[in-house]
Structure 1
């Protein structure tokens, strides 16, 4: 998925998750990253997961 398409999908509140499956993320205005409030860190777009295309397994979640 290209970065333009990812930015559009980030508008859907639970569509895009961080690598750990959290949906509490805020896209950066200046960089191609999204800050995850649950992880308390930024993740590059390449690491984000489109949950509609690749659902995460509960075994990979960090609680």
Structure 2
């Protein structure tokens, strides 16, 4: 199995990654919003929209 970050062979200790470094890179991508999961839940969409436009004076 190849590491999804760098394509090197995965290490059993860090699987599916080759190292803790690649695992940390992946985690950082989740934290900074690089990776997202879609939602069709109207409540979540409404909340996300209000957060995005909270400080936008053109939406008030």
Q: TM-score range by the shorter chain?
A: under 0.3
Q: Which has the higher strand share?
A: 1
TM-score (normalizing by structure 2): 0.21
Highest RCO, 1 vs 2 (Cα 8 Å, sep ≥ 6)? 1
Rg larger in 1 or in 2? 2
